[in-house]
Structures are given as structure tokens and as C-alpha cells.
Structure 1
């Protein structure tokens, strides 16, 4: 496993640690526009997102969106879009990052019912694809290039 880490470092991958929550979600810390938050790493989510309640926290410039969101048991949810934000995961950074904003209350309610901590949002496949992600489940770390 150390050989993998050396190879990834040599190829300019950045290591980001995550934790596994009580609900078996992969949880990591991320910074949006210089403000730290807690996020679920979700390989099945097409886009990264935050809840409406986090618009002010992360200083987002939310715009209307015609797109409806679905997932985690909910469909047809109203969304907004915040373009050109700065996302940082560990030492990996994206300075022109777009976020979908929608009602995450159903996600946090489910987490709280299992006595897990709420999250600010979800890091989805958009980040994983852009960063050419490699997930090391055994050692609880994500590598992004």
C-alpha cells in the first residue's frame, strides 16, 4: 500500500482523509470560499451540492435554476446554482467550481435519526471526475490530481 501512495504522490495526486460515519457514509472536510464545512463523499451523486441553509455561510451567489434534483428518496426538488466558487479539499483546489443548491433537510434528518452529525453538503462525481479520483477505502483516503 505504501507503494501506491508513493506512486500517487509522484504523479501529483493530493491525499484527502475521510472518516466513515455511524451510517457508513464517507465524510470529509472541505472548504468553500475559505469557509470550512462537513460533506458526504458520494460517488453516486452526479453533482456536488449544499443545502439552502448554507448559502450565506459559504458566501454563495445563488441563481435560479430550471433543473430539478432527485436522490436519497426525494424527487423533483427545486434547485439553485452557484457558479465560480473556490473549492478546496486538503491541498487540492478548484477555483471555478459550480455548486447545486437544494433542500438537504431530508438527508440531515436521516443522519440525525441515526445519531450521526449533519452535513453541509455532498461532494459528488463532478469533483471525482475532475480530480481523476482514486478512493482508498481501506486507508480512508481520497486522492485527487
Structure 2
């Protein structure tokens, strides 16, 4: 039995929220730890990052390690950074078995969202995942499209 690969295209709905005269943020639903969460789609974030408080509450046994790097952006100058190996992240039909993510204090984002009546977010889906899965963001259709290779078993007849 030989294996061939085909491209799997996953389209996920986006919720575009209005930041009250301060722009818009696209939000996407993800599955993690058997629960559904909301993440901000952030093309300016080089790496996917999770809010330290929210991810710890969602999975108390998750191992979070201190990082020597300071993170910049996200509305602050610099902040202490941690990392975690995240397993079983689902974005629509896309299953990401394991990847390393930043873990940061994103409480200022969640406080601001709460003041505007928006939902609490687990974190930001960053450029690492968006690039790896060839993301296409369509604001008009309010969709995020991701691509991945899907192995398929096929029978190949070898002629000699």
C-alpha cells in the first residue's frame, strides 16, 4: 500500500468585532481541552499566545515554563513570557496535535473586551499557525481558510 497526499481545505467562520471607533478584530472559535474558546486572529503576532490566567483555569495540570525572552507588543512595552506545549488544538476540522506557544498576561485585552461587551479570549492565533497552514482571511465573507496535507491510502499498481 502506498500513500499519496491531498490538500485538505478548512473554512472556519470569523466573528468580526467592532472596537468602538478603534478598528476591528476578527475572532475565531477553537477547541482545546474538550472545550470551546475564542481567540483573536492576529497577523501581527509572530507566535500564537495564550492568556496565562485563562489557560491555567482551563487546564490546571498544564506545564508552563518560564522563557528567557521578553515579549513585546499587545499594547504593552515588554512583558514576562512563558511557553507551553499545547496539544490537541482544533480550528474547525483542522487538528494540530502539538505545538509550542507563548503564554502571556493578556488580562488587559480581556478587560478591554469586557468593557466593550465582547467575549473573553483565550489568546491570539498568530503568524506561526497562520503561515504553516497557509491562512487566507476573507473579511467580506467573514471566513478563515486553512490548508493542510491529508494522507490518504491508495493502491498503486506498479507495472514493470
Query: TM-score category by the smaller chain?
Result: 0.7 to 0.9
Give the superposed CA RMSD: 1.7
Alignment of 1:9-20 (within 5 A): 11-20=7-16
Which runs of no fewer than 5 residues in structure 1 stay unpaired? Answer: 1-9
Counterparts of 1:66 and 1:49, CA distance in 2: 16
In the superposition, the TM-score normalised over structure 1's length comes to 0.85
In the superposition, the TM-score normalised over structure 2's length comes to 0.78
Per-residue deviation, residues 11-58 of structure 1 (Å, max 9, x unmatched): 421111111113221011111233321111111111111111122404
The residue that corresponds to 1:129 in the other structure is 131
Could you say which structure has the larger radius of gyration?
A: 2
The residue that corresponds to 2:104 in the other structure is 102
Length, aligned pairs only:
136
The residue that corresponds to 1:118 in the other structure is 120
The structure with the greater share of residues assigned to helix is: 1
The residue that corresponds to 1:55 in the other structure is 56
Residues 86 and 97 of structure 1 are in contact (CA less than 8 Å); yes or no, is this contact kept in structure 2? Answer: no
